[in-house]
Amino acid sequence: MCGLLGLLTAGADAADRIEPMARALRCQRHRGPDESGTWNDADVVFGFNRLSIIDVENSHQPLHYADGRYTIVFNGEIYNYLELRAELADRHGATFATEGDTEAIVAAYHHWGPDAVRRLRGMFTFLIWDSQERVLFGARDPFGIKPLFFATGPAGVAFASEKKSLLEIAPALGLGDGTTGDLDAAALQHYLLLQYVPEPATLHRAIRRVESGTYVTVRPGGEIDHERYFVPTFDAPPSGAPTNPHAVAALHGRIADVLRDSVAKHMRADVTVGAFLSGGIDSTAIAALAKEHNPDLITFTTGFEREGYSEVDVAAESAAAIGVRHVVRTVKPDEMMEALPLIVWYLDDPVADPALVPLWFIAREARQHVKVVLSGEGADELFGGYTIYREPLSLAPFEKVPGALRGLLGRASTRLPEGMRGKDLLRRGALSLEQRYYGNARIFRDDQLAGVLRRYDPRRSHTDVTAAHYRDSAAWDPVARMQHVDLFTWLRGDILVKADKMTMANSLELRVPFLDPEVFGVASGLPLSQKITENTTKYALRRALDGIVPAHVLNRRKLGFPVPIRHWLRDEMYAWARDIICDSQADHLVDLLAVQRMLDAHRDGPVDHSRRIWTLLVFLLWHGIFVEQRIRPEIPEPAYPVRL
């Protein structure tokens, strides 16, 4: 895992841009502290920070291929690189100077062109400069596991693994001093609604993201051309769920087989691989399958001392049942408060999921033992694991109610007291799926936003983000449509951002075997009854993992990763939160007095404002770091004494 930089100039000499590129490279040294490399010609400057995982002694980047025609910088891992290298050698006579996966990518591009990205099984962003055709080609993996930011200006276009690196390059692109007076108001409103900034936007108007499943091409002085090569499609068979017991068993067997194969390929590394382990079925399955390849597997979990907010005991029981060495890191509120400004700096854009803070701590702990961890992200989106996916079942009676009467029920819900049981059920039952569902995160409603956000625009809505995905999935069942929306919103906006940023902050590579094209190929064809029932979620996956994961986990209710901020903001964190609000200079964007009133109301109870307060606090810290430049976290040098 690594950090890449690429600058394509527009008529200027690229050599004049080397110094700002060097500063930008230092901003993301945590992504690859093992070595750095730069290269340039008249049009291009490439920079690279390497975390050495495969072919450790070689595969230095930027890497050249075909007698220097191509130069590549690559962040990620290609898990089928051995098979690709063999096919390229056998069919095309390709030769290789290294033993790694980077050269497999550029060789595939040489022989197959842009279609090569469809053959890659892994997580990746990369840039390839073709010095003969004078064209820059870049791509991002199908699910958006690895980030790729870009900025364009009068002097050219730049790409980077970290947005903060592009802020350093901004002056060289003719985009000003690299700070952001030009904050994207729409992106801020969406952040407060969703708890993350939806792709392709960032809070800096001049910086955007290459979307998941997309490749780009650009020539010196030209516009970037974006081409989507992967669209996740949930295509259940028209015949519905298999009823023959042998057919059902075969389906579950295919799930187990493809997941076992994915884990096996995700274990490919020339360094030690561990696994994150919570109390849930997803990470437990990954750890159990990984143990088949590494008898000395180490697993890691984190939690809190407060009862009801920790899966440490369940994870320890699972580790004992699997037979792995287990490491636990307990996080305290004072540690969260101290670490949060640094964590926000690593994030680049605010993400208001409190779970990312303990993730940062366990990643830091894991990096003392291993260089790579496997994790269970993506299982819920692929196999139907979120409890809210059962909502179409609970709201089914509303579908029989005439539209006018449903509207009356919705209006009646607004007259009920906040927090009253049944209020939200009535409100949501009165809405269509497209109106009510915009992903797993629901922070501020529109009416709540209007009282906090200075630049609130009622014309903006979550439908700005979700409408296209609902159009693309119009013929599918409601759960498949929710999964589709989450793959483009919640997964790549929250889940994968926190996974990448918090592990890379600690120079730790995280791999996600569920988010594999072959696994998706099986999961995407599951009928509704194999995903959601009245009693459970991820039905087919649970049946497939029977005998692989311990019995105490197999049918356990999903807890998620709750963080006790509801309690802490009333007690240990109250004064800290108040100071952040009082010190902020973002009152032109957010009504700070309204935020303070919200904090006081939460402290006094009984209304729970904790998630909304946390969302605002993370933004205020972000603004203090990246706009006001008043908050300056001390960035540690990557150093990892290994504990045996």
Burial 293-328 (b: 16+ CB within 10 A, else e): eeeebbbbbbbbeeeebbbbebbbbbbeebebebbb
Q: Is 27 noted as a catalytic residue in this protein?
A: no
Name the active-site residue from 1, 2, 4, 288.
2
- pLDDT of residue 16 exceeding 90, the answer is no
Which residues, in sequence order, are CB contacts of 376 under 8 Å at separation 6+? 276, 278, 280, 282, 283, 284, 285, 286, 512, 514
pLDDT tens profile 455-508: 999 999 999 999 999 999 999 999 999 999 999 999 999 999 999 999 999 999
Does residue 621 have a pLDDT over 60? yes
In this structure, what DSSP letter does residue 494 have? Answer: I
Domain edges within the chain = 2-228, 245-385+488-554, 565-626
Q: Is the pTM of this model over 0.85?
A: yes
| Residue range 430-463, pLDDT digits in tens | 788 998 898 887 799 888 899 999 999 999 999 9
pLDDT, mean over the chain: 91
A 10 A CB-CB count for 447 gives 9
Asked if 438 and 194 touch (Cβ cutoff 8 Å), the reply is yes
pLDDT surpassing 60 at residue 82? yes
Task: Give the residue-averaged pLDDT of 377-388.
Answer: 96
Instruction: Give the chain's radius of gyration (CA, Å).
Output: 24
Structure confidence by residue, pLDDT tens digits, 328-347: 999 999 999 999 999 999 99
pLDDT at 32: 94
Q: Which of 401-405, 550-554, 578-582 has the lowest mean pLDDT?
A: 401-405
8-18 b/e (C-beta count within 10 Å ≥ 16 → b): bbbebebeebe
612 burial level (CB within 10 Å; 0-12, 13-18, 19+): buried
256 vs 101, 250, 535, 549, CA distance in Å? 26, 10, 22, 11
- What is residue 583's predicted lDDT score, i.e. its pLDDT? 98
For the cut 60, the answer to whether the pLDDT of residue 643 exceeds it is no
Six-digit token string for 582: 């009082």
Q: Supply the pLDDT for residue 637.
A: 86
d(CA 365, CA 643) in angstroms, rounded, equals 10
Q: Greater confidence, 237 or 322?
A: 322
pLDDT of res. 118: 97
Q: How many CB atoms are closer than 10 A to CB 40?
A: 21
The two structure tokens encoding residue 235: 């295509």
Taken in order 335, 338, 343, 349, is the CA torsion positive or negative?
positive
Structure token pair of residue 466 = 């979700």
Tell which phi-psi region holds residue 11, choosing left (phi > 0), alpha (psi between -120 and 50) or beta.
left
In eight-state DSSP terms, residue 615 is H
- What local confidence, expressed as pLDDT, does residue 60 receive? 93
101 annotated to bind ligand: yes
User: Is 376 within any annotated ligand binding site?
Assistant: yes
List beta partners, residue 330: 303
Q: Are 348 and 502 in contact (CB under 8 A)?
A: no
Local structure of 626: helix, strand or coil? helix
Burial of 58 from C-beta contacts in 10 A (0-12 / 13-18 / 19+): middle
Q: How far apart are the C-alpha atoms of 326 and 367, rounded to whole Å? A: 14
| pLDDT at residue 207, rounded to an integer | 96
The closest alpha carbon to 134, from 22, 9, 5, belongs to 9
Cβ contact 204:184 at 8 Å: yes
CA distance 641 to 644: 10
- Ramachandran angles phi, psi of 132, nearest 5°: -80, -45
* Amino acid found at 462: H
The pLDDT confidence band at residue 5, using thresholds 50, 70 and 90, is: very high
Residue 589: which of 613, 623, 618, 625 has the closest Cα?
623
Between these two residues, 420 and 166, which has the higher pLDDT value?
Answer: 166
Q: What is the DSSP letter of 549?
A: B
Tally of CA atoms within 13 A in the half-sphere of 443 that contains its CB: 25
Say how far apart CA 163 and CA 350 lie, in whole Å. Answer: 12
Query: In CATH, what is the architecture of 2-228?
Result: 4-Layer Sandwich (3.60)
Please determine, for residue 181, whether its predicted confidence score (pLDDT) is greater than 60: no
Identify residue 50 by its one-letter amino acid code.
Answer: R
User: CB–CB of 453/589 below 8 Å?
Assistant: yes
- Strand partners of residue 328: 301
Is 245-385+488-554 assigned to CATH 3.40.50.620?
Answer: yes
DSSP state of 586: -
Inter-residue contact 363 to 506 (CB < 8 Å): yes
Sheet holding 372-374, edge to edge: 325-330, 298-303, 273-276, 372-374, 509-511
Under 8 Å between Cβ of 3 and 13 = no
Is 310 a known ligand-binding residue?
Answer: no
What does the angle CA 470 – CA 435 – CA 522 come to, to the nearest 5 degrees? Answer: 35
* Strand-strand pairing, 225-228 and 207-209: unpaired
Cβ 131 vs Cβ 41: under 8 Å: yes
pLDDT at 355 over 80: yes
pLDDT band at 321 (very low <50, low <70, confident <90, very high): very high
Give yes or no for a contact between 515 and 372, defined as CB atoms under 8 angstroms apart. no
Q: Are strands 35-40 and 325-330 parallel, antiparallel or unpaired?
A: unpaired
CA distance 294 to 274: 9
Retrieve residue 87's tokens: 């096919």
The mean pLDDT value for 589-593 works out to: 97
